[in-house]
Structure 1
Amino acid sequence: MPTLPAHPNCRCALSAYWKDEEKFASGALDGESRRGQEHARRFYNELRNSNRKDLIMKIFKSSKMSKTIVSSSLKHVLDSKYDLIYDGEIKHMNFVPDYDMAESAKRLRIGNPLKHDIITLKHEALEADLMDK
């Protein structure tokens, strides 16, 4: 669990949640499981190694957001390095792959985004703008 604030101008928050014991016991993928974290890591690498122009076009079409927002968001999440707190130390690094973010990117890429996927896209582009300054 990160120590907050985790990055410059951090407005992140921690909150309690209810873990579905049945889902957890079934081995289903989620952000808490080792399988879910590995899935996110593999998917981030897949996105990093994909044709970025094609990826931007797919997300642009499915999200109806500008190519600038899509490009900025992807660069921020996948490529940019920041001074982040990791394992109690400040390290210059990429964001750690996140299961929910990976699933959001997957829906955006295949053209089936949910409302919160669009909000996440906007959030990441704005966060990139703030953190890159």
Structure 2
Amino acid sequence: MGGKTYTYYESTQKQRQMERQIRATKREIEATKSIGGDAQDLQNKLRGQMADYKSFSKAAGLKERDNRLRVESGSSTLKSTKAYQNAVNMKNAGALSNKTDPFGRKREKHAISYYEEIRNRRSDYVIKRISKNGGVSEKAAKNIYEHVFVEKHIFADGTERQFDPDYDMSESFRRILEGKNIKPHDITMLRHENLELNLMKKYNMVHEDAHSLAEQKYNYKKELDEFLERIGG
């Protein structure tokens, strides 16, 4: 049990805590599915929790309590779960435009929230989804993920920071990660970011210079603007 010695009372309390966490994750999965969201991350989390629960119970000499792991479908207030709220936000975000959000405040808030959500997901899962649905190698997908969401970059003003969350890019990544309704400009975005990061690393370029060069070959903004014009966004 990780090298720590538990009393019987501490073991039973630890086991009950793990059971509560498992039930909570099951409710999150139910909530996500109820609105048509992608529950894959949560299901992966649940598998890990179940494995830890079984391992801990065995090591502590405690009987596994399957009856305390059950969540009766429809018995919980799913709208209060984080997963339900995230799923609702993801669905509503697709309807945001200059017409529905003239000052861009909702889109900015959504982008910040979505970038944070991506950073909190298991990176290996995100990378595999980018690779599979975006048609790039896992190596390229890993580089793109780290470039956009993790690493800090040098800008022309001399500052070093992460990229600011971008609404349209968050929507492109959302479609790619979900594997649904992927647009041509979403794929262009991946290619642009991959070329951009390679230019920055190989030639020690600041972001603006690498971005400008990458745009000459993979013009995400041009394709995005054409798409938004077609749909009246």
How much has 1:24 moved relative to structure 2? 3.3
Query: Which amino acid in structure 1 is aligned with residue 98 of structure 2?
Result: F
Q: Equivalent residue for 1:100?
A: 168
Q: Equivalent residue for 1:42?
A: 113
Query: Which amino acid in structure 2 is aligned with residue 78 of structure 1?
Result: F
- Of 196, 207, 220, which aligns to 1:127? 196
How much has 1:33 moved relative to structure 2? 0.5
Describe the SS at the equivalent of 2:170. Answer: helix
Higher mean C-alpha displacement, 58-67 vs 98-107: 58-67
Query: Which amino acid in structure 1 is aligned with residue 116 of structure 2?
Result: N
CA distance in 2 between counterparts of 1:47 and 1:90 reads 27
How much has 1:25 moved relative to structure 2? 4.6
Radius of gyration: which is bigger? 2
Query: Which amino acid in structure 2 is aligned with residue 48 of structure 1?
Result: R
CA distance in 1 between counterparts of 2:98 and 2:135 reads 35
Q: Equivalent residue for 1:24?
A: 98
Please give the root-mean-square deviation of Cα atoms over the aligned residues, in Å.
1.7
Instruction: Indicate conservation of the 8 Å contact 1:84/1:92, yes or no.
Output: yes
1:45-73 residue CA offsets vs partner (Å, 9 max, x unmatched): 11111101011111222122111111111
Query: Which amino acid in structure 1 is aligned with residue 163 of structure 2?
Result: F
More strand by percentage? 1
Query: Which amino acid in structure 2 is aligned with residue 132 of structure 1?
Result: K
Instruction: Indicate conservation of the 8 Å contact 2:108/2:165, yes or no.
Output: yes
How much has 1:108 moved relative to structure 2? 0.5
Describe the SS at the equivalent of 2:98. Answer: helix
Q: Percent identity?
A: 33
Instruction: Indicate conservation of the 8 Å contact 1:73/1:125, yes or no.
Output: yes
Number of residue pairs matched by the alignment = 105
Instruction: Indicate conservation of the 8 Å contact 1:60/1:67, yes or no.
Output: yes
TM-score of the pair, normalised by structure 1: 0.71
TM-score of the pair, normalised by structure 2: 0.42
Describe the SS at the equivalent of 1:90. Answer: coil
Query: Which amino acid in structure 1 is aligned with residue 151 of structure 2?
Result: S
1:91 is aligned to 2:178 = no
How much has 1:27 moved relative to structure 2? 3.4
1:92-116 residue CA offsets vs partner (Å, 9 max, x unmatched): 1001111111000000000022111
Using CA pairs under 8 Å that are at least 6 residues apart, name the structure with larger relative contact order, 1 or 2: 1
Query: Which amino acid in structure 1 is aligned with residue 174 of structure 2?
Result: K
- Of 150, 155, 163, which aligns to 1:79? 150
Q: Which runs of 5+ in 1 are unaligned?
A: 1-22
More helix by percentage? 2
